[in-house]
């Protein structure tokens, strides 16, 4: 594989991507701009690649969904740029990269953390077609004044009840980071998600 460059300015660009993810987590429903990595191998999206490179390091176990795992360049590229190891079992991953969000496995498949160590759960990075052009979701919870709205294209049709079950596990459960062409948004486990009427 010809190794592509990751960030042009590794420190500044990684910090900007990291800050975008943290802002998205702090303000669920907001879309934060992220400069994607155009050199990422398909089917890894430029936005998801930037998020992964900003978040992962040599201590981070990564899991790739079947679409990404079937492309050997993806795992090699991620390992080269982050030092992270690729794991075969989703429950052992700190981060799960999912190219086919519509085929998202049961959330219980991933590490849920514990009541004492909720941070030992998996954070899911989902590639989505759009953060503005899909079914409307209504969000409530910490970081949201009243309600927020997000229209994500590419999520499973039953995402709202699945996220409700995930929310009920709090402080356990997984957090979702959504990587779209417009940037990044987040659905933390603390957020209550319903489908807009």
Q: What is the pLDDT of residue 5?
A: 54
Domain ranges of the chain: 10-195
Helix axes 46-55, 10-26, angle to 10 degrees: 100
pTM above 0.75, yes or no: yes
The predicted-structure confidence for 136-150, as pLDDT tens digits, reads as follows: 999 999 999 999 999
The answer to whether the Cα torsion of 23, 149, 31, 113 is positive or negative is positive
Site of tokens 């596990």: 169
User: Which CATH superfamily includes the segment(s) 10-195?
Assistant: Bacterial phosphonate metabolism protein PhnH (3.40.50.11310)
User: Which residues, given as ranges, of the chain have pLDDT below 70?
Assistant: 1-5, 197
The predicted-structure confidence for 60-102, as pLDDT tens digits, reads as follows: 999 999 999 999 899 999 999 999 999 999 999 999 999 999 9
């Amino acid at each position: 594989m010809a190794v592509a460059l990751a960030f042009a300015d590794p420190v500044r660009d990684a910090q900007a991507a990291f800050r975008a993810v943290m802002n998205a987590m702090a303000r669920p429903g907001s879309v934060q701009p992220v400069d994607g990595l155009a050199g990422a191998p398909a089917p890894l999206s430029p936005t998801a690649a930037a998020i992964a490179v900003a978040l992962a390091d040599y201590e981070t176990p990564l899991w790739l969904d079947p679409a990404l795992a079937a492309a050997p360049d993806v795992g090699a590229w991620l390992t080269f740029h982050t030092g992270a190891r690729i794991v075969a079992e989703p429950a052992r991953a700190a981060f799960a990269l999912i190219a086919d969000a519509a085929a998202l496995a049961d959330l219980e498949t991933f590490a849920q953390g514990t009541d004492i160590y909720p941070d030992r759960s998996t954070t899911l990075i989902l590639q989505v077609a759009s953060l503005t052009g899909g079914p409307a979701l209504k969000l409530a919870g910490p970081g949201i004044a009243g309600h927020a709205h997000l229209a994500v294209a590419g999520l499973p049709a039953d995402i709202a009840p699945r996220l409700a079950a995930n929310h009920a596990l709090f402080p356990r459960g997984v957090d979702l980071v959504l990587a779209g062409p417009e940037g990044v948004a987040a659905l933390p486990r603390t957020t209550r998600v319903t489908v807009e009427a």
